[in-house]
Chains A and B, each alone.
Chain A
Amino acid sequence: MAYCVMCGVKLEDGAVQCPLCRTEVLLPSHVVEKPAEPLFPHPLPEKGTGGISKTSKGIIELILPLLVVSEVTIALTMWYSGNFSHSFIPLFSTAMAALVIAMALVSRHSYVAQTTTHLILVSLYLLGIDGSSGPLSWSVIAVGGIAILWLYAVFTTTRTARTCPLGSASLLMLATLGYLAMINLVVVGKLSWFFPVALPTSLVLFAGVGLFFLLFLTRKRTRLPLADLIFFNLIVLFLTFTALDLFLNRYGSGIWTLSWSVSLFSASVALMLLLISVSVSRRIRRFFTSQNRHS
């Protein structure tokens, strides 16, 4: 019978480690212990019995009767007011609201699970509302937007995205382009402005973001100054808007010209010059640092 060297407790015969501190039991090689009779005849099952907790059960038990009462009340009200044919939206909305609360309790309490569940429910709700008045139209764009939101806000936090950043970035770019193409198809019925405007503007944006990652994130052991971050983001944004203006003018009037984006373009050039001068000349960099001013 062994004792744990850390806790000082006597362990069961044949124990491999102390159950309290997990210190391994090291017996002399010639000592072989016969395992003691286990506390319970069967080992622990791999999973628990499952089910939902008391609080979740309580909320669901409250929601269900409330849902039934609300649905019946709405249906009767609509019936007596002679608007029963329009009762789908209030009935469907109430049911979906109850479903959203119930699913929040039933699904796993993690950011990914909860957000995914709720975005799916919101999408279903929008499709339902849109579908109730004829063939699907605006809801397709809204649901596409929700899908893009999920990709940017949820997928990027998953382990899959973190382990394969390049693949994830490509997926995000393709999904964004696909979404823009879909908007074009739904609104116009064909790919009209997608190729001449949306695609090149998006490529400018992606190129800017790519350049940002290339220039800043590949630098090792160097803290990224906040000003550099903000300035570079502004440059990317301003250049994207400039590109949008340029491609829009070309698409609309057939001329390569800038109209409202001239000021943005000038600002981006000024910022770019500042960033370049700061990174090239140490004197200019020192001029803007606090140490210089204090000394």
Chain B
Amino acid sequence: MIRVQSYAPDGFIALDNSALIYPPTEARFNANTYRVSIDLKQVIVPEILDLAVQEMLQRCSYAKVSLHKGFFWYFLSPNHKTPILHEEGSFPSGRIFRKENNGYLFKVLYSKHRIALECFHALTDGSGALVYLKMIVSEYCRLAGIAEFTFSGALDFSKRPSKQEFSDPFQHFFDPKIPGTPSTGRAYHRIGTGSYDDRVKVISATVDAKTLRERCKSRGYTVTVYLCSILLWALQELQKQEVPVQKRRKPLKLSVPMNLRNIFHFDTMRNFTLFAVPGIEPALGEYTFEEILQKIYLDMAFSQDPKRIRSQIRRNVGGERHILMRFAPTAIKNPLFKLLSDSLGDDLYTAVISNLGYVSIPPELESSLTRMDFYLCPGQMNKVALAIVGWKDKVTINFSSFFNTDTDLERLFCQFLVQDGVPVEIATNRSDEHKEQ
């Protein structure tokens, strides 16, 4: 099949299928960003970091792009400006104002000990961003004389980029012969208590990786299934308070991004994620934690079936290739995307939980690494998001929230972990607000 961009002028890089929705829906409460960061013992030198970022961009030229609004679609084109380093602020995963960032779709931030990479979702997904961060950190450590090492899973600076790295995997796996997955029904959305604004309030829970793994193993489930189940259990408890009548309780569903690189063995640096939507139906009765674990496990296994994923890809890419979508101008598509994205996306799940997995740290870096984080941006419908990353002997569970004072979900989640024998250590950027009350 001939792709539309084959006829495109030089410098036109089509967004991947998953990225199409992000630029038109970017607004207040919809930053469509996320962040990965690494804290080192050494003090970060911005000049060296700048060199490391430029080295990374030299190798990954597909990240050296800016976003433009075309007549039919948003598109990427090479960006010849120099990337800007930003000083760390007060909260993660805020909106990226591209004009203040020389047009780049990612933002490198630094503080005394931290190197952070915030990405707009149109560029890549969490796994892609982690690869960029690994490259920046390894190059920084080399240039700063800290250590020379290569992260497992990072790209080799000495090799030329492969075709897979910058190709749109969704187009590659699109099969017009199979039917698309039907859309699921609406899910419950927490009302919460108190006000909210677009500052991202963080509660970061750090747990011991070994203890967590042992708890999961004793129950016979993976870490992702275990943590998803705790989140669903906490949501069930909160829904009971907000909706006292059982039969009126809407389904509780989670959006769990699946890294399709592992399933399809396709090493792309663009978005290659689809979402599993495991959930329970509290209208049918209260679920015990064991029942939730089992339900999540089955739902996740069902969602990870490659045939089912291909069907999802068929639906998404089929929509993009529809004649009306292809030839409708952006002036019409943009407002429609904004108005429909909720009913086709955020409305279908109650919360987002993303597990980046365990990041293996090279032995040369182990002594220097003090912390690693992964943050998602919350949304207007689902105001609390949960991001998990494992590093060394720790697992960091970061809650990012728009609520100013409501921390009920975080509290129930952490209390469950503690009661289940997993010690939790808490850090937050909420401290000032709490002192005011």
- Give the B-binding residues of A (Cβ under 8 A): 4, 7-12, 15-22, 36, 38-45, 47-55, 57-59, 61-62, 65
Q: With an 8 A cutoff between CB atoms, is B320 at the interface?
A: no
* 28 A-B pairs with C-beta separation under 8 A: A7-B414, A8-B415, A9-B414, A9-B418, A12-B428, A16-B431, A19-B407, A19-B431, A20-B410, A21-B407, A38-B429, A39-B202, A41-B89, A42-B88, A42-B90, A43-B431, A47-B197, A47-B199, A49-B95, A51-B95, A53-B30, A54-B26, A54-B28, A55-B342, A57-B335, A57-B338, A61-B338, A62-B336
Q: With an 8 A cutoff between CB atoms, is B354 at the interface?
A: no
Cα distance A50–B203 in the bound complex, in angstroms: 22
For B370, give the chain A residue with the smallest CB separation. A37
Contact A20 B198, beta carbon cutoff 8 Å: no
What are the 10 closest A-B residue pairs judged by CB atoms, nearest first?
A58-B338, A48-B198, A51-B28, A61-B335, A48-B197, A20-B411, A8-B418, A54-B27, A42-B90, A19-B428
A41 partner, pick from B88, B92, B337, beta carbons under 8 A: B88
- List which B58-115 residues lie within 8 A (CB) of chain A: 87-92, 94-95, 111-112
Contact B338 A55, beta carbon cutoff 8 Å: yes
Cα distance A62–B339 in the bound complex, in angstroms: 10
For A51, give the chain B residue with the smallest CB separation. B28
6 extra interface residue pairs, beta carbon distance < 8 Å, beyond A8-B424, A19-B426, A43-B432: A10-B424, A15-B431, A19-B410, A20-B410, A41-B112, A55-B338
For B427, give the chain A residue with the smallest CB separation. A39
- The residues of A that contact B418 with a CB separation of less than 8 Å are 7-9
Contact B197 A58, beta carbon cutoff 8 Å: no
Q: Which of A7, A8, A9, A45 has the most CB of B within 10 A?
A: A9
- List which B401-434 residues lie within 8 A (CB) of chain A: 407, 410-411, 414-415, 418-419, 423-434
Cα distance A156–B95 in the bound complex, in angstroms: 40
**Smallest CB–CB gap between B390 and chain A, Å?**
19
**Smallest CB–CB gap between A79 and chain B, Å?**
26
- The residues of A that contact B435 with a CB separation of less than 8 Å are 16
Cα distance A53–B342 in the bound complex, in angstroms: 12
- The residues of A that contact B89 with a CB separation of less than 8 Å are 40-42
- The residues of A that contact B301 with a CB separation of less than 8 Å are none
- The residues of B that contact A40 with a CB separation of less than 8 Å are 88-92, 111, 202, 429
**Smallest CB–CB gap between B341 and chain A, Å?**
7
Contact B411 A21, beta carbon cutoff 8 Å: yes
With A8-B415, A44-B201 known as contacts, the answer to whether A22 contacts B429 (CB < 8 A) is: no
Cα distance A228–B297 in the bound complex, in angstroms: 64
**Smallest CB–CB gap between A34 and chain B, Å?**
15
For B418, give the chain A residue with the smallest CB separation. A8
Q: With an 8 A cutoff between CB atoms, is B273 at the interface?
A: no
For A11, give the chain B residue with the smallest CB separation. B426
For A4, give the chain B residue with the smallest CB separation. B426
Contact A49 B204, beta carbon cutoff 8 Å: no
Contact B428 A41, beta carbon cutoff 8 Å: no
Cα distance A51–B95 in the bound complex, in angstroms: 11
Q: With an 8 A cutoff between CB atoms, is B283 at the interface?
A: no
Contact B339 A9, beta carbon cutoff 8 Å: no
Q: With an 8 A cutoff between CB atoms, is B54 at the interface?
A: no
**Smallest CB–CB gap between A54 and chain B, Å?**
4
Cα distance A22–B411 in the bound complex, in angstroms: 10
- The residues of B that contact A53 with a CB separation of less than 8 Å are 27-30, 380
Contact A10 B94, beta carbon cutoff 8 Å: no
- The residues of A that contact B28 with a CB separation of less than 8 Å are 48-54
Contact B338 A10, beta carbon cutoff 8 Å: no
Cα distance A35–B341 in the bound complex, in angstroms: 43
Cα distance A39–B206 in the bound complex, in angstroms: 12
A20 partner, pick from B92, B203, B341, B431, beta carbons under 8 A: B203
- List which B332-382 residues lie within 8 A (CB) of chain A: 334-339, 341-342, 380
Contact B198 A17, beta carbon cutoff 8 Å: no
- The residues of A that contact B199 with a CB separation of less than 8 Å are 44-45, 47-49
With A8-B418, A39-B204, A48-B197 known as contacts, the answer to whether A54 contacts B334 (CB < 8 A) is: no
- The residues of A that contact B201 with a CB separation of less than 8 Å are 44
Cα distance A156–B205 in the bound complex, in angstroms: 47
Cα distance A15–B426 in the bound complex, in angstroms: 10
With A10-B424, A39-B202, A42-B90 known as contacts, the answer to whether A22 contacts B434 (CB < 8 A) is: yes
Cα distance A18–B431 in the bound complex, in angstroms: 9
Chain A proximity mask over B23-49: 1 for CB below 8 Å, otherwise 0? 001111110000000000000000000
Cα distance A11–B423 in the bound complex, in angstroms: 11
Contact B339 A44, beta carbon cutoff 8 Å: no
A54 partner, pick from B30, B410, B414, B432, beta carbons under 8 A: B30
Q: Which of B26, B95, B418 has the most CB of A within 10 A?
A: B418
- The residues of A that contact B331 with a CB separation of less than 8 Å are 61, 65
For A61, give the chain B residue with the smallest CB separation. B335
Contact B425 A9, beta carbon cutoff 8 Å: yes
**Smallest CB–CB gap between B380 and chain A, Å?**
6
- The residues of A that contact B288 with a CB separation of less than 8 Å are none
- The residues of A that contact B198 with a CB separation of less than 8 Å are 48-51
Contact B426 A54, beta carbon cutoff 8 Å: no
Q: With an 8 A cutoff between CB atoms, is B158 at the interface?
A: no
**Smallest CB–CB gap between B379 and chain A, Å?**
9
**Smallest CB–CB gap between A168 and chain B, Å?**
27
For B88, give the chain A residue with the smallest CB separation. A41
Cα distance A231–B270 in the bound complex, in angstroms: 75
With A19-B407, A47-B197, A54-B341 known as contacts, the answer to whether A61 contacts B415 (CB < 8 A) is: no
**Smallest CB–CB gap between B97 and chain A, Å?**
8
Q: With an 8 A cutoff between CB atoms, is B437 at the interface?
A: yes
Contact B426 A20, beta carbon cutoff 8 Å: yes
A38 partner, pick from B87, B407, B424, B431, beta carbons under 8 A: B431
Cα distance A53–B380 in the bound complex, in angstroms: 8
**Smallest CB–CB gap between A109 and chain B, Å?**
12
Contact B29 A54, beta carbon cutoff 8 Å: yes
- The residues of A that contact B430 with a CB separation of less than 8 Å are 19, 44
Cα distance A7–B428 in the bound complex, in angstroms: 15
Contact B94 A49, beta carbon cutoff 8 Å: yes
Cα distance A291–B428 in the bound complex, in angstroms: 62
